[in-house]
Structure 1
Amino acid sequence: MENVVSVLIYICSPSILSPPIDNFDVFKEGKAQNFFESQEAVIALCTYFQELLKNIKDLDEKQLQEELFKLLQVSLWGNKCDLSFSAGEDSSQKSSPLQSLESLIPYILVNDTEKLWSLLVNAKKRNTEKSNVRFDIILDNAGFELVSDLVLADFLLSSKLADEVHFHGKSIPWYVSDTTKHDFNWTVKQLQSANHMWMSRCGINWEGNLKKGVWVYHDHMFWTLPHDFSSMAEVAPDLYADLQKSNLLLFKGDLNYRKLTGDRKWEYTVPFHQALNKFHPAPLCSLRTLKSDTVVGLKPGQGEHIQASEPEWMVSGKYGVVQFDAAL
């Protein structure tokens, strides 16, 4: 039912921007429910992060790298919390997302986190007072996944791996649990007013980041248009030009992955770079749990080996990828 409503909203998208329904989100209740049902995980993540911040200045490069990898994994597996994938059933994150990271590493089929680290460290070394390191996150789901993305963004600033973080969300309530500007601001406000000390601290700090301009939220109609991202330079040259200003683009989720790769039935071993079809505004990375039958960049025989024992492996959400491509 949620998918049907998403299609109807897309068809009616010109009118949805006009009063009196310009602020109406048919998925609002489900997204809020996902957030509240994930409170245990949100508390655990906020607590871990605030404790980390106390000592972040004393961490050496290796320790910073380890913490970045942890938070990237939390953001990756947070992508499981998808209302469209769960058909409206409970998709919240119940337990601490940090407890199971080690056991989930074998399910990351492509893991380019080392390349992300190298890029961020090198960008910081080349940075001058006139050239800030910019990190962009193309958001996917509201709820717990969004909180995990915000923690990652705060870590990048707090560790000085980035000077500014730009978030890109949907301009209309589009595909069930997709993040809109309302969802983004609502989540920060909910954390800010929470009774839990570390949740509240996160919310207060994040509101401060927005006011200071080191966090910037953007939306653009292109993200809800039926174009592969390889068409962006032609269809939305203003958005493409903005993304070119970034040092690293992080694309969250399955639908963004499908649009990055043209949603085609690629051979598993086709290089990620090739599947992007000349979409190279800046170095980019996809954090995605597999929920549709397209994937590239695997080693020879890797996909076939899993297929033999798990026929539904490409759509189950059990596996993930962290795939990086450097801009030309």
Structure 2
Amino acid sequence: MAVPCSLSAKFKGPPICSFDVFKEGKDESFFQSQQAISALCTFFQELAKEIKDRSEEQVKEAFFKLLQVSLWGNKCDLSISSGEDNSQKCSPLNSLAALQPCILVDDSECLWSILSHSRKTSNCKESVTRIDVVLDNAGFELVTDLVLADFLLTSKLATEIHFHGKCIPWFVSDTTKSDFRWTIQQLRAANHRWMSKCGNNWDGNLKKQVWVYHDHLFWTLPYEFCEMAQVAPDLYTELQKSDLVLFKGDLNYRKLTGDRKWDFTVPFSQALNRFHPAPLCSIRTLKADIQVGLKSGQGEQLTSSEPTWMTSGKYGVIQFSALA
């Protein structure tokens, strides 16, 4: 039976394409991580006040610390916890030293080598250093990514940051444009001095276009990233403008490496299968049975002592590949 026009108009809501079935879980994860978020924002704002007076070594130390916070923020993934609470309850900064042995590949020095050059040439008005961040999860992990991005600008390690998220609600806690904007607005409205300052600064970065958000259908299509140049040449061309592309999370790692059962010692650059729009780095906690770039015997030893090491989220990598 046809629905009367009056009833149809009365119950008309937003188009189904804008409905995010995962939003409630993502929002709840964000709110349950408030203690960790406030601690991280406080740490960053106190750091930012002194950044001009920090030595090169102190800036490097802070960069490594926030890079590791972003790495371990990737633990907060609702897909690995079947949608159950997987929020960050305490300050992530307190556990970095204890987690250091769990970083199986740490190419932080390679990233610093690229970015410190930008800091040294930052007085040149024509000098632009663009960092692209291919996002993973909303919630606490997104906040860690935004703090890292703000630090890159504040310390003059970068002059502009481009974020890439999903154009549709996709896999449980994946970041969409709505999540990105919502997170910043939540921080702006927070009843916490440093959280609200972060939110206001980040909103300003978007308005000044030193932060730019992109979305593209390719990120939700069933293609390996080595096919991007053919399938989505516009996106590949966009990434080619970058000085460094940071890929967050496990699924991005799987698509970077073709989701193949590589030998553990195969070099990361080889597993990329000629995908190289720019120098790139994967920042990932392990949640799938694929890992490359390990030392001889390292993977076998872990398999023997911890059979679930590739899927538990306990271990992580900061894995870099220079432009070929």
What TM-score range do you get, normalising by the shorter chain?
over 0.9
> In structure 2, what is the equivalent of residue 10 of structure 1?
none
For the residue of structure 2 that corresponds to 1:135, the secondary structure is strand
Give the deviation of 1:131 after TM superposition.
3.6
- TM-score, normalised to structure 2's length? 0.94
Q: Answer yes or no: is 1:325 the counterpart of 2:321.
A: yes
What CA deviation, in whole Å up to 9, does each residue of 1:223-261 have, x standing for no partner? Answer: 000000000000000000000000000000000000000
Match of 1:3 in 2: none
Question: For residue 268 of structure 1, what is the amino acid of its counterpart?
Answer: F
The partner residue of 2:217 within 221, 229, 234 is: 221
1:33 corresponds to: 28
Deviations 1:11-30 (A, max 9, x none): xxxxxxxx611210000000
Question: 2:244 corresponds to which residue?
Answer: 248
| Counterparts of 1:175 and 1:246, CA distance in 2 | 26
In 2, the alpha carbon distance for the partners of 1:306 and 1:132 equals 42
Q: Look up the match of 1:79.
A: 74
Partner Cα distance (2:242, 2:27) in 1: 31
**Cα-to-partner distance string for 1:120-170 (whole Å, 9 max, x where unaligned):** 112444664234100110000000000000000000000000000000000
Matches within 5 A, 1:122-141: 122-125=117-120, 128-141=124-137
- What is the DSSP-based 3-state SS (H/G/I as helix, E as strand, rest coil) of the residue aligned with 1:99? helix
Rounded Cα–Cα distance in structure 1 between residues aligned with 2:250 and 2:317: 10
Aligned residue number for residue 276 of structure 2: 280
Other structure's SS at 1:165 match: strand
Q: Is the 8 A contact 1:124 1:133 kept in 2?
A: no
Q: Percent identity?
A: 70
In structure 1, the residue matched to 2:6 is none
Match of 1:210 in 2: 206
In structure 1, the residue matched to 2:186 is 190
Q: Pick from 70, 88, 98 the counterpart of residue 103 of structure 1.
A: 98
Q: Which moved more, 1:296-305 or 1:124-133?
A: 124-133
The whole-number CA distance in structure 2 between the counterparts of 1:317 and 1:109 is 12
Are 1:269 and 1:298, in contact at CA under 8 Å, matched by a contact in 2? yes
C-alpha distance in structure 1 between counterparts of 2:207 and 2:86, whole Å: 32
Residue 240 (structure 2) pairs with residue 232 (structure 1): no
Equivalent residue pairs, number: 310
Which stretches in structure 2 are left out of the alignment for 5+ residues?
Answer: 1-13
Structural RMSD (CA): 0.9
For 1:88 and 1:233, how far apart are their aligned partners in 2?
Answer: 34
Q: Residue 136 of structure 1: SS of its match in structure 2?
A: strand
> Which is worse superposed, 303-312 or 150-159?
303-312
Aligned partners of 1:59, 1:191: CA distance in 2, in Å?
27
Residue aligned with 2:17, SS? coil
| Pairing partner for 2:39 from 31, 36, 44 | 44
Aligned to 1:112: 107
Within 5 Å, which residues of 2 pair with 1:142-221? 142-221=138-217
Structure 1 contact 110–297 (Cα < 8 Å) conserved? yes
Q: TM-score, normalised by structure 1?
A: 0.93
Contact 1:268 1:295 in 2 (8 A): yes
Question: Structure 2 CA distance, aligned partners of 1:300 and 1:125?
Answer: 37
Q: Is the 8 A contact 1:292 1:315 kept in 2?
A: yes
